[in-house]
């Protein structure tokens, strides 16, 4: 009786099927319970990622899934490499989106925002955030995200808000923040301004309306063309080009605005394009930026005709209270009826829309707060594009986009007409536009205000009370808080010399979408150099957009965006992670296909079944190690090291999809399909202990490299392999080290697999059962190594391998220039079918040879083609001639 050695949990029943749901809940709870994701500064090298904070209103979608899978792969790998991995999670207060949701919820309850004080509204908003705000972070846990949840931050946490206010005051004191009356982008749905970057310009088809204006004191008229006839109520001039001879008779005269009959001057300016439209331009300074510039130059009156919701105000006369688009239709009809509308043409133009609400933007004059960006941008441009650039963008193609934005940067409108957000720390002490001070607290503002008042009047200064201060109602743009994210999460603004900011900053990698390259990434770089004089991160990996198989962007309206949690339910988190990453070549758009998630699930099942196969083997400690197992393990060690080097190279270039594919092929093909077949004991026979232990070590190394991509499956198998302590969990195991390897043994094995495949094809074609041993004869022109002969025999059930100098009758195949023969008993095969098949192969090979010969007989091709191309064609020719000879030989043996 052999001595049976049982290892690890051999006595424990291993489930026949991998149950992803049960496994995922179990191990995530285990990781959380043992605090593996938490980081504190120590002597190790830090590896830090800050999450792009999703909107607090958000739920998990495919973009989040991809982005956070990539971050989790990077952070888990860093943890295995022995680094102090810190992934900071959090959410963004998303002022416009969140305020809209809170207002809508209050409306359902019969409450209007205007009936509430700011404090009351903010309490409702925080209540809403507490109830719904953590949903997306909980969903990320289902994906396996190994964030340091103890560090979860929110952009309106008290300490975060304090940092934002501190930065505002600092920039104001440096003269970089100013208050100005400017033409801004007004979102009439959200009722707030937007920065230029938050406006999406879309081509839309509309109309061009030609309107006739009378000339005062004359029967003459002039014609203007406009896309917005409703704005005539705000016209304060007509402009002509002084060089336009068509309108010399209008110089110095006045026109009458239709309907409202306002008399306005006809002014002259070379700004008017002689070739465009009618040559006469209506000037509406309150509702067009170019018109505003003309108005300033010519001291024109400014008449704002819109309410904040883009309905017309009293200047709109009988259209007061109606929406601008309703008025456009109605006024066109009225103007036509009165003979003022001369004609209408279909016209396509670019229309600005709100990124958040999709509402058409209205240019509007308003007092707003701005941040001067030109000088602030310079260090950020050098950091990415300069000779000594220290921040890398992956892929590099985005550098041009970055350059365009940053070199054409405009002052940033940072104020929003909202309550949800950090309130601007400007305090008014009088009625004038300049009667304000900027300070971090009301108390500090009071002191500054008193100092200013003392200059004006001692009596005013003495009578002024802190209650008299009136804080600016506006909130700061959400991006003005998130641009500090890599610093503020470590309290680097309030306490710039604290241990954490010094240890974790600069962070290592930022993973985000190219759509917020300017909104967020560029501004974080600006903030990093302004407040820390350091880059905020080393590398920025910009993922592509997730699209469907038809290349359409995923969206709710198209109904082509799968439910992220349902995908996890169906394919398991590991399956979805694999599916996403296999779809995601670096920086290109992702053509997501659920079949790839199925492939990921299938891969998990294959690994599980391979593990069950290994654990099912009985181990005999008295058995010596077979030569086949020894050479097989040596080959796999070399192949593993080669793949490990490839994985490292892929990671260094952020080619995570390629890294995963290298691991997939290693485990799916090399390990499961080759190595396990080489070492597998005969049916119902035990395996030797040396091989078994080596296979377990191989499996463990496979699990280590796969763990960042498939954390749940790998931890489950790891824990089944042996009884582990909490210090021995896979999540904190040691990543395999890269070592030198024998490249020749990999080449030799590839040659051997060609032989195995050839014999297997013959068995299949000739319908020879694997139980029936075959003989193999080799004409060894390649002088190939015989090191793998025993492996070839085992994998093909070849009783013997004979090296001969002459061809042998039988089925044959070639590997490079070597010829292999397997004698076949004619009684066991269908001769007619075999002859027919060989004749078809012969015809195909002769046709291929004809094409090669034609090419090589073409003097033009031979004289112009590179030497390596000619050599390749010559080799094809020689191989095909040899193949034809082999087929003819096989035919001859059958036709005897």
Question: Strand, coil or helix: what is 475?
Answer: strand
Q: Average the pLDDT over 473-479 and give the result.
A: 94
Q: Which residue has the higher pLDDT, 825 or 54?
A: 54
> What value does the mean pLDDT of the chain take?
91
Residue 427: partners with Cβ closer than 8 Å, 6 or more residues away: 436, 437, 438, 439, 442, 445, 446, 449, 469, 470, 471, 472
Pairing, β 392-394 against β 341-354: unpaired
With tokens 């409306």, the residue in question is 107
As a whole number of angstroms, the distance between CA 709 and CA 650 comes to 14
Lowest mean pLDDT among 193-197, 202-206, 328-332, 567-571: 193-197
**Whether 698 contacts 721, CB under 8 Å:** no
% of residues, the chain, pLDDT over 70: 97
In the predicted structure, residue 829 carries a pLDDT above the cut 80:
no
What tokens does 232 get?
């005539």
Indicate the length of the chain as a whole number: 896
pLDDT at residue number 255: 93
Q: What's residue 133's pLDDT?
A: 81
Least confident of 481-495, 558-572, 715-729: 558-572
Contact 20, 572 (CB under 8 A): yes
CA distances from 172 to 414, 593, 640 (A): 12, 50, 58
Please give the pLDDT value at position 8. Answer: 38
Q: Which pLDDT score, from 0 to 100, does residue 810 have?
A: 84
Given a cut of 50, is residue 524 above it in pLDDT?
yes
Each residue's pLDDT tens digit, 49-93: 999 999 888 788 888 899 999 999 999 999 999 999 999 999 999
Among candidate residues 509, 506, 501, the one with its CA nearest the CA of residue 535: 506
| Res. 556: pLDDT tops 70 | no
**Residue 511 burial class via C-beta count within 10 angstroms: exposed 0-12, middle 13-18, buried 19 and up:** buried
Q: Which residue has the higher pLDDT, 553 or 95?
A: 95
Per-residue pLDDT of 108-162, as tens digits, reads: 999 988 889 999 999 999 999 988 888 889 999 999 999 999 999 999 999 999 9
Q: What is the pLDDT of residue 869?
A: 87
d(CA 329, CA 344): 12
Task: Show the CA angle centred on residue 75, arms to residues 69 and 79, nearest 5°.
Answer: 140
Q: What is the pTM of this model?
A: 0.83
Per the CB < 8 A criterion, the answer to whether 290 and 300 are in contact is no
Closest alpha carbon to 364 in 349, 352, 348: 352
pLDDT of residue 844: 93
Q: How confident is the model at residue 586 (pLDDT cuts 50, 70, 90)?
A: low
Tell me the per-residue pLDDT of 800-809, one tens digit each, with 9 for 90 and over: 999 998 888 8
- Give 856-895 pLDDT, tens digit per residue: 999 888 888 888 888 889 989 998 998 898 888 878 877 7
Residue 2: pLDDT over 50: no
Average pLDDT over residues 3-30: 76
Asked if residue 11 has pLDDT above 50, the reply is no
pLDDT for 3 equals 47
**What is the C-alpha R_g of the chain?**
38
Q: Answer whether residue 550 shows pLDDT above 80.
A: no
Mean pLDDT is lowest, of 144-158, 525-539, 775-789, for: 775-789
pLDDT at position 555 is 65
Return the closest-CA partner of residue 417 out of 100, 780, 710, 172.
Answer: 100
Closest CA relative to residue 354, chosen from 195, 554, 553: 195
Confidence of residue 183 (pLDDT cuts 50, 70, 90): confident
Higher pLDDT, 300 or 460: 300
Would you state the pLDDT for residue 5?
A: 52
Residues with Cβ within 8 Å of 631's Cβ and at least 6 positions away in sequence, in order, are 787, 788, 790, 791
| 589 compared with 295, residue with greater pLDDT | 295
């Amino acid at each position: 009786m052999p001595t049976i050695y049982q290892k690890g949990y051999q006595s424990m029943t291993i489930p026949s099927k991998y149950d992803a749901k049960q496994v995922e809940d179990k191990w995530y709870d285990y990781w959380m319970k043992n605090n593996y994701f938490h980081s504190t500064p120590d002597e190790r090298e830090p590896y830090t990622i800050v999450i792009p904070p999703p909107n607090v209103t958000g739920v998990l979608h495919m973009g989040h899934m991809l982005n956070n899978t990539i971050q989790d792969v990077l952070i888990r790998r860093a943890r295995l490499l022995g680094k102090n991995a810190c992934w900071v999670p959090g959410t963004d207060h998303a002022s416009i989106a969140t305020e809209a949701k809170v207002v809508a919820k209050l409306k359902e309850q019969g409450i209007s925002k205007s009936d509430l004080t700011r404090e009351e509204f903010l309490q409702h908003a925080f209540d809403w955030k507490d109830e719904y705000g953590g949903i997306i972070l909980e969903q990320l846990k289902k994906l396996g995200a190994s964030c340091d949840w103890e560090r979860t931050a929110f952009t309106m946490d008290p300490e975060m808000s304090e940092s934002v206010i501190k930065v505002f005051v600092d920039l104001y004191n440096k003269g970089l923040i100013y208050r100005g009356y400017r033409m801004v982008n007004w979102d009439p749905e959200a009722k707030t301004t937007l920065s230029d970057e938050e406006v999406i310009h879309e081509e839309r088809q509309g109309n061009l309306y030609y309107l006739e204006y009378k000339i005062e004191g004359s029967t003459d008229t002039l014609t203007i063309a406009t896309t917005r006839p409703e704005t005539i109520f705000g016209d304060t001039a007509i402009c002509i080009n002084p060089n336009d001879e068509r309108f010399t008779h209008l110089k110095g005269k006045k026109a009458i605005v239709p309907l409202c009959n306002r008399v306005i001057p006809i002014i002259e300016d070379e700004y008017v394009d002689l070739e465009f439209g009618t040559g006469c331009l209506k000037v509406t300074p309150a509702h067009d930026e170019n018109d505003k510039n003309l108005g300033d130059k010519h001291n024109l009156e400014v008449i704002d005709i819109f309410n904040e919701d883009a309905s017309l105000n009293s200047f709109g006369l009988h259209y007061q209270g109606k929406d601008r688009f309703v008025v456009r239709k109605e006024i066109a009809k009225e103007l036509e009826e009165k003979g003022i509308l001369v004609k209408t043409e279909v016209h396509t133009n670019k229309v600005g829309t709100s990124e958040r609400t999709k509402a058409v933007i209205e240019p509007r004059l308003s007092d707003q707060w701005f941040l001067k960006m030109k000088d602030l941008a310079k260090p950020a441009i050098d950091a990415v594009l300069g000779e000594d650039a220290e921040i890398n963008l992956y892929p590099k193609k985005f550098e041009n986009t970055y350059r365009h934005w940053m070199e054409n940067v405009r002052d940033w409108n940072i104020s929003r007409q909202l309550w949800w957000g950090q309130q601007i720390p400007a305090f008014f002490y009088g009625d004038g536009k300049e009667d304000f001070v900027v300070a971090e607290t009301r108390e500090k503002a009071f002191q500054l205000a008193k100092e200013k008042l003392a200059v004006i009047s001692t009596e005013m200064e003495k009578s002024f009370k802190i209650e008299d201060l009136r804080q600016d109602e506006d909130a700061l743009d959400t991006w003005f808080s998130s641009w500090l994210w890599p610093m503020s999460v470590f309290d680097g603004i309030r306490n710039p010399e604290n241990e954490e900011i010094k240890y974790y900053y600069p962070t290592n990698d930022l993973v985000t979408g190219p759509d917020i390259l300017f909104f967020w990434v560029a501004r974080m770089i600006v903030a990093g150099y302004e407040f820390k004089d350091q880059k905020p991160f080393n590398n920025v990996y910009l993922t592509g957009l997730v699209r469907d198989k038809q290349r359409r962007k995923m969206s709710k309206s198209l109904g082509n965006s799968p439910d992220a949690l349902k995908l996890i339910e169906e394919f398991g988190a590991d399956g979805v992670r694999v599916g996403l990453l296999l779809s995601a070549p670096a920086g290109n758009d992702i053509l997501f296909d659920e079949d790839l998630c199925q492939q990921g699930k299938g891969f998990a099942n294959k690994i599980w079944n391979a593990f069950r196969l290994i654990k099912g083997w009985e181990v005999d400690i008295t058995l010596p190690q077979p030569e086949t197992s020894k050479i097989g393990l040596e080959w796999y060690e070399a192949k593993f090291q080669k793949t490990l080097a490839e994985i490292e190279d892929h990671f260094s270039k952020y080619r995570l999809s390629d890294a995963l594919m290298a691991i997939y092929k290693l485990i799916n093909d090399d390990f499961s399909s080759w190595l396990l077949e080489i070492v597998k004991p005969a049916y119902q026979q035990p395996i030797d202990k040396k091989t078994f232990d080596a296979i377990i070590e191989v499996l463990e190394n496979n699990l280590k490299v796969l763990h960042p991509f498939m954390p749940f499956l790998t931890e489950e198998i790891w824990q089944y392999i042996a009884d582990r302590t909490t210090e021995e969990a896979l999540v904190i195991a040691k990543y395999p080290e890269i070592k030198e390897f024998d490249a020749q043994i990999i080449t030799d094995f590839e040659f051997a697999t060609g032989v195995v495949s050839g014999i297997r094809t013959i068995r299949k074609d000739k319908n020879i059962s694997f139980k029936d041993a075959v003989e193999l004869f080799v004409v060894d022109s390649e002088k190939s190594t015989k090191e793998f002969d025993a492996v070839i025999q085992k994998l093909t059930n070849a009783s013997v391998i004979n090296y001969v100098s002459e061809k042998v009758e039988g089925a044959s195949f070639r590997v490079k220039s070597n010829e292999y023969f397997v004698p076949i008993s004619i009684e066991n095969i269908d001769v007619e079918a075999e002859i027919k098949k060989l004749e078809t192969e012969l015809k195909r090979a002769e046709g291929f040879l004809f094409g090669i010969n034609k090419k090589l007989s073409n003097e033009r091709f031979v004289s112009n083609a590179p030497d390596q191309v000619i050599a390749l064609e010559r080799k094809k020719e020689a191989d095909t001639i040899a193949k034809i000879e082999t087929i003819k030989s096989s035919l001859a043996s059958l036709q005897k």
